Amino acid sequence: MSVAEILFIVAGLLLGLAFHGGMLLFLIPFAIVAFVLAWLNRPRLAGGPNSQNPTSNIPIISIGPRSTNTNPVVSPDLISEFRNDHDRANEPEAAFKVSQVWARANADINRAMTDMLCALKVIVPGVNTAIVFTQQNNPREWGVRNYVNDKEMSVNPSTRLSESGSLLSQMFRSGVSRILEGDLPSSKVLSFYLDNPPVKSVVAVPMLDHSGNRVGILVLDSTAPNAFTDKTAQALVYIAKAISMLDYKGFYSAQKHIALQQYAGLYNYQRKFFQTMTVKDIYKQIINYVKANVAYDRLTILAMNKVNESAGRVVYCDGIESSQFSEKRFTLSDKGIFVLAMMRNRPVERSFTPGYNEYVPRLSDNEKRNLNLRQLFVMPVATETDAATADMAICLESSSSRPYSEHEKELLKAFAGVAGFAYDRARKFEHGRDLAMRDGLTGLINHRTLHESLRSEKVRADRKKYNIGVLMMDIDHFKRVNDTYGHPIGDVVIKSIADTVSSEMRKDIDVVARYGGEEFVVGMVETTAEGMMEKAERIRKAVEMLAIDVHQTKPLKVSVSIGAFLVTPDFHDMKKAVNNADQALYRAKEGGRNRVVRYELDEESMAPKA
């Protein structure tokens, strides 16, 4: 059985398997190659045009060094969608996984392409080098993608073909469908060789993408004159199509695999969103996702105030000069590009050319200017898709010369939709919890939450062996205020005193509650008897200094009476501790009001403490 018959059988088997569909469709280009090689190797009549090139003598070939260029033949833009510049402050973990996928895909395609070129060199007699050129970073320039040849190190892998300067440059012209030379003069040297082999024959055909654009060429050469015919050139057209399909399908599969991985990651974050119920955790998930998937030199997360809908703050900033933005406040009237994106609820993208001098403010005009950040992309996050104003914004900046890719922007857009829903859910949950836990007038925790907080704090105090100071205070003559000025003014008084007391305490450390009516309770964490009494006296004096506007000739002056009790590590009943402070408050009222009295466990009588 001849070589041609074997190849025809192989082509038929491959096509038969391919017709089963699914992943086996990938066998189609190999079937085409087998069929073309069988046709080239078919038995010839004696005295035919190719009888001088018998196929019985198969040459020994060696594979030259291959280019490691990872750009696909058909769609060189595919890999750029997943690029990683390796020059940004944040290098996301996903970028390294993407690089591994591309490297693996490129290695597989190179192996298959090498096999195809080796087959060409074996089947077509007299071939010195079979070489593939594909697009490089510049679409008007082609470089060596892969080759096989007889001579080690004869081909220069760094060769670049441009629109002028060599025989092969003719293939850049749309009107040139092939190059077929059979008697090259000795002065005509092919540009991709390091030495000067006596090449006499060359055949080349263009490689086309799925839109018919020229993205490379397939070339064969030989030292024998008139080594190739029209039929050889026609066969190469089919081989070029098969190589193009191989390259395109390989990189398309890699792209699909990467996209599936990234959207699977998005799904995992969606699950995390629904496992958390706090706004702070939503911020953390957004930060973690962006860090894992997108490169940046500065990342800024903005959020609107849930009370004042026209104001907001920076909840997170990482990267270059991040300290100037951390916790910074802004309003929708500020002139900044981040604010503009939130106000319009639309993504904003800007690219700044090197050497530009006119800085575009991010939040306001008075911020520090950095002209090295040349790429900017802002993805607003809204709780409703048709909202006029966004609730959050993910702001990315980079010093790279290349903008963020469409794929990266689409990923952020999909993520923003999920994040907006989760953010709205968390805010509503916290709002409902606040309604149950906090007093609506003052914003302080209520009576029930106070006891839960004091019990939790007592557990920590017992573990670390520190005291807790409990203060109970009551507004003096508050009934008289309500009777004289009315309940609306009474509410103003309560709110003013609540703010005054809160301002004297340590935020997120001490406990401040509205106990009921005109009574307030404070839990002072890690204090002494002296520190507790000093703090109580400071609160009393701060309230005494208040001048509350009641729309009268003179402002309203009020005072408070305070009872204090120190909870030591050997005292465990926090409810009893509040009652003890209440008893001390009663003594302060009896003693003339506007004073502080401490409850002493070892004394039957208590005296006012100035």
Known catalytic membership, residue 518: yes
For residue 454, CA distances in Å to 451, 461, 511, 526, 561 come to 5, 10, 8, 13, 22
For residue 525, give both structure tokens.
């964490």
Helices (H), 465-520: 478-485, 487-504
Q: How far apart are CA 116 and CA 259, in angstroms?
A: 29
CA distance 409 to 425: 24
Q: What is the H or E stretch that residue 304 is in?
A: strand 298-304
Q: Does the CA dihedral 395-396-402-407 come out positive or negative?
A: negative
Strands 201-208 and 298-304: unpaired
How many whole angstroms separate alpha carbon 218 and alpha carbon 204? 6
Question: What is each CA distance from 541 to 234, 286, 520, 559, 606, in whole angstroms?
Answer: 100, 45, 16, 8, 21
What gap in Å lies between CA 415 and CA 305, rounded to an integer? 22
| Four-CA torsion 104, 105, 110, 115, nearest 10 degrees | 100
CA neighbours within 13 Å on the CB side: how many for 78? 26
Q: Which of 397, 457, 518, 519 is catalytic?
A: 518
The string of DSSP codes covering 27-67 is: GHHHHHHHHHHHHHTS---TTSTTTTS-SSSPPP-BPPPPP
Q: Judge contact between 373 and 360, C-beta under 8 A.
A: no
Please list the active-site residues. Answer: 518
